[in-house]
Amino acid sequence: MLTISTVGPLRGSVTTFGALVGSGFRRYTTYRQATIAGTFTNVVFGYLRCYVLLAVAASTVGGRPGGYAPDQLVTYVWLGQGLLSVVMLWGWAELAERIRTGDVAADLLRPVAPLTAYLAADLGRAAHGMLTRFIPPVVVGALCFPMRMPTRWQTVPLFLVSVLIAVVVSFGCRYLVNATAYWLQDARGPILLWTLGAGVLGGLYFPLRLLPESVAVTLWLATPLPSILQTPLDVAAERDGPALQLGLVALQLFWAVVLLVLAAVVQKRAERRLVVQGG
C-alpha cells in the first residue's frame, strides 16, 4: 500500500489520511449554530476593519497606503475575514488538553501518529471552513464595497494553493505551541502568547506592508506568521507582480516544510520522555 511515511510521526496510509480528512470535515458540519454565529461576527468585524482601512487610505497622500489601492484594501479585509476560520489562528488547544489529562497516551497507541492524525483532521476542518465561513463574508464584501477582481489568470489558482499552504503553516505553529504541554503540563501561557501575537504579526489586524519595509521583510523572512494570512491576501489582492507572488508562495511552502519537520522532531522527543500527569 502506498504510504506517506512508514516510520516516525508522519506514518500512515494515504487511504487512512483521506478518511481522517473526511472525518474532520464531518465533525465540523455538526456545529451549525456556531458556524452561523461565527460567520455573522466575521461580517460585522469586516465592516469595521474595512471602514478603518479605507479611512487610512483617504488620509494618505496618493491614497495608496503600503502600496494598496482602496479596492485592494477591500479585497484584503474581506478575504481575510473569510480566511480567519479557515486557517484557524486561535481556539485550538485539543492536543494540549489531551496531554494535560493524559489522554494523549491513547493517541500514541493508535496506528496513525498524532501529527498525521491532527493534520488530516485540520485539513478537513479547513475544507469545511472554506465552504461555510469563507464564501459569505466575501459575498457581502463584494456587494457592499468596491472589491478588486482578479486581473491575471494565475491569481485564483495561486491563491487557492497559498490558502492550502497557509492552513499547514498555521497547523504547524499551533501544534508546536500545544506540544509545549509535554514539558510544561499546562500550555495556557504559550497559547495565550500565540493568540496575542499571531493576529498582529500574521497580517490580520492590518497589512504588514503598512510597517516600515525593513520590519515587514524581517517578519516575512524570519518568522512563519506572515505566511498564514498576509501572503494569501496579498496574492488575492494582486499587491505584487506575478514573479513576487510566486516567490511569496514558495516562501510559504518553505515554512510549511520546516514547521512539519520541527513538529515531527518535537513529537519524537516528547514520546521519549512522556510522563503522563497523574498516572
Each residue of 170-219: pLDDT tens digit? Answer: 999 999 999 998 888 888 888 888 988 888 889 888 899 999 989 989 99
Range of lowest pLDDT (21-30, 66-75, 119-128, 216-225): 21-30
pLDDT tens-digit readout, 149-170: 888 899 999 999 999 999 999 9
Question: Which is more confidently placed, 165 or 102?
Answer: 165
Q: What is the mean pLDDT of residues 244-258?
A: 95
Kindly state the percentage of the chain with pLDDT values over 70: 93
- Residues 134, 50: Cα–Cα separation, whole Å: 16
Q: What global pTM score does this model have?
A: 0.89
Q: What is the mean pLDDT of residues 266-270?
A: 88
Average pLDDT, the chain: 87
- Residues 279, 270: Cα–Cα separation, whole Å: 16
Q: Band of the pLDDT at 62, cuts 50, 70, 90?
A: confident
Question: Which is more confidently placed, 4 or 233?
Answer: 233
